Amino acid sequence: MFLFRVIGAVLLLSAFSVSGAQQNTTEYREAVLVKFSLVSDGAGCSSTATQNPGNQASANVQTYCSDSEIAHYQVQVGPQIFVLEPATSTKKKAGQAAVVIGTLGYGALFMHQKDVLKGQLPGAQVLLRSVGNNISVKVGKKESLYSIVQAE
């Protein structure tokens, strides 16, 4: 999985290069949303425990679990197809915030929405650009960060 991300990042960065020696990652490239799907990324569980008031030795424990899904979007940039997912984990958010602040300033943190591709239909025209190890996708005036899952 990690190898796909590294290869995808290298391919996408090469797609963004203006020439072999000169690379400009601040320019947007036109892309088309090919398709989207929901992929299971495991189950999310939470537990609650309450102690019985009259009996210190017993407690009621309840665990709730539900399947968790994440959206995968296939976008085409020229002849290359990339599978992207919203970059939403807490660990990823901290790293992305640092990259966004470093490249675009603090104001850029507020222009990024969770998932600008949500609700878009296949065939929708979008703009992509590389931001660190992530891809920024712009739809209209809104922009979101995505991770590369796979590159074809």
Q: Which single residue is written with the structure tokens 């959206």?
A: 71
**Per-residue tokens: 11:** 């391919």
The 10s digit of each residue's pLDDT in 80-120 is 999 999 986 544 455 555 555 555 554 444 444 579 999 99
- Does 39 have pLDDT greater than 80? yes
The 10s digit of each residue's pLDDT in 55-72 is 666 677 788 787 778 899
Contact 144, 120 (CB under 8 A): no
Amino acid at 149: V
SS3 38: strand
Confidence (pLDDT) at 26: 66
What's the pTM value of the predicted model, to 2 decimals?
0.59
CA–CA distance, 52 with 54 (Å, rounded to integer): 6
Closest CA to 82 of 22, 129, 40: 129
